[in-house]
Amino acid sequence: MAVVIESSVWEPNPWIYVFITVACLLSIIVCPYASSTTKTPNVFDHGISSPSFLRFQRNFLLIYSLASVMGGLWSVFGEFELAYYGISKEQMVDYLCVGYAAALFAGTFLGPLSDFIGHKKVCLLFCILHLFIGLWKRFFAHPSIMVASICLSLSASIFSSSFETWMVLQHEKQGYRQDTLNDTFWLMIFFESCSLIGGQMLSNWLIGDNMEKNILSPSSAAVLIAIVGIIFVGRGWMEIPQTTTFNEYKMSCYAYIFGDKRIWLLAWAQACLHFSIAVFWILWAPTLVADGREVHLGLIYPCLMGSRMLGSTVFPWLIGGLSSLRTEECLAYAFIVLGLVMSIIAYDYQEIGFLVTLFCLYHACIGLILPSLARLRTMYVPNELRGGIITLSQAPANAAMLLFLLQGGYYRNIGNSTIMAIAALGLFSAAGGMHVLKRWGKQPYQNWHKL
């Protein structure tokens, strides 16, 4: 008599989505009333925030959300789409290497370029790149994955630097209160995570049950969203490019980079975080399905992004007077938690439920760290150099990813657990850097009345 072994696909409890949604709503609603200080205006306090600022903020968040959806559409069926076009695992690694090489050798200079020629032009380039990828996939039966990988890597570099810097410069130009930037920073992460979930839902709805027939549907949606993005960015705020020469900009950048060690510490923390996130998104699925375990990855992704949203809502609590900790201290503790999570994932075999819990904790910390780093950049980095500093700080992470992809993915000389352990060590070092930054004291570039 044959024995039938039933296999089940692990799925998260549906109540997790309810818990995350309710927790986010409560955190947002209660925060203004729980704040122990009234000096800092709050995004929810419409009596303090001027109507012009609220329009400014909403316009930017709309543009930023559209950009987030554009980037998220390509990641939903990434590996599955590549397999559909007949790409092998080895070729996927090759294309990842090409992408990180493009980010290292070209993307690094997009930040300084945007500082010099204007961030609006580079944000338009972001939309044009996504429009090009969508049209390329739509009109070619077998599009070049290498071209798409290069374009996506360059657009990711633009997304991480130019949109934020454009907003900060326009915020300063229009004379809004500097402390209201804090609200915009965490709302950026909140809406970005929400948009990534929306992009996944849109892709799933467009694909439906017929993968072969509807494989190009997300590309059509990306083309439409990119056109809308071009219109909104083109009609957005006007900006005046720098009047300084390239040599003057370069000398100013060198002066701040080599003259202020606090920028080194901040850049190192950004690099370690960027490397950790890149490692996570490459290895999270293989970690979950190790030893033949079956997991519904599409249902776990919203949990991760929801946790990121929840983490971002913690940021206004910490800066609203409820905590005596400085931003550097909060970052140090958050980086330590990230390092511990990565260490456990790397070397301790866990059940799927516990792994997903660790993944959610990881992303909750990411949601807190990203607006905190943006806040520190506004304290220590001149706005005219902000975009360049961001992309330059990501260069070490891109170089490390390229090295580990070649050694681990191509030559098989380094195991996944070792790469995760190195990412954990980087996070611990970033925590140490934030501790040193706190000890060196706060002497910000800009004279803020309260930060």
For residue 297, what are the domain limits?
251-441
Hey, what are 380's tokens? 């220590």
Lowest mean pLDDT among 150-164, 201-215, 332-346: 201-215
Number of H helices, E strands in the chain: 17, 0
383 in any annotated domain: yes
The DSSP line for 356-421 is HHHHHHHHHHHHHHHHHHHHHHHHHS-GGGHHHHHHHHHHHHHHHHHHHIIIIIIS--S-HHHHHH
For the segment 72-116, what is each residue's pLDDT rounded down to a tens digit? 888 776 677 777 777 788 888 888 999 999 999 999 999 999 988
Q: Are 261 and 209 part of one and the same domain?
A: no
Query: Quick one: which of 325, 151, 117, 127 has its CA closest to 241?
Result: 117
Count of the separate structural domains present in the chain: 2
- CA neighbor of 38 nearest in space, from 450, 327, 374: 450
Measured CA to CA, the distance from residue 41 to residue 49 in angstroms comes to: 7
Q: Which range (145-149, 262-266, 444-448) has the least confidence?
A: 444-448
Q: Tokens for 282?
A: 């490459």
**Interval 208-235 mean pLDDT:** 85
Percent of residues, the chain, with pLDDT higher than 70: 88
Sign of the CA dihedral with 164 first, then 169, 173, and 176 last: positive
Residue 444 has pLDDT above 70, yes or no: no
- Tell whether 205 and 61 lie within a shared domain: yes
Question: What pLDDT, in 10s, does the model give residues 363-392?
Answer: 999 999 999 999 999 999 998 899 999 999
CB 272 within 8 A of CB 397: yes
Residues 256 and 400 in one domain: yes
pLDDT in tens, 280-331: 999 998 888 887 788 888 899 999 999 999 999 999 988 876 667 889 999 9
Question: Are residue 146 and residue 88 in the same domain, yes or no?
Answer: yes
Q: What is the pLDDT of residue 82?
A: 75
CA–CA dist 359, 245 (Å, integer): 46
Q: State percent of the chain over pLDDT 90.
A: 52
Same domain, 221 and 292: no
Structure-block tokens of residue 276: 């950790």
Is residue 42 a part of any domain in this protein? no
pLDDT over threshold 80, residue 205: yes
302 within a domain of the structure (yes/no): yes
Instruction: Decide: 311 and 371 in contact? Cβ < 8 Å.
Output: no
CATH code of the domain in which 173 resides: 1.20.1250.20
Q: Rounded distance, CA 68 to CA 123, Å?
A: 12
Q: Are 231 and 256 part of one and the same domain?
A: no
CA distance 238 to 245: 21
Structure tokens at 253: 């950048």
The pLDDT value recorded for residue 101 is 95
- The whole-number pLDDT of residue 321 equals 65
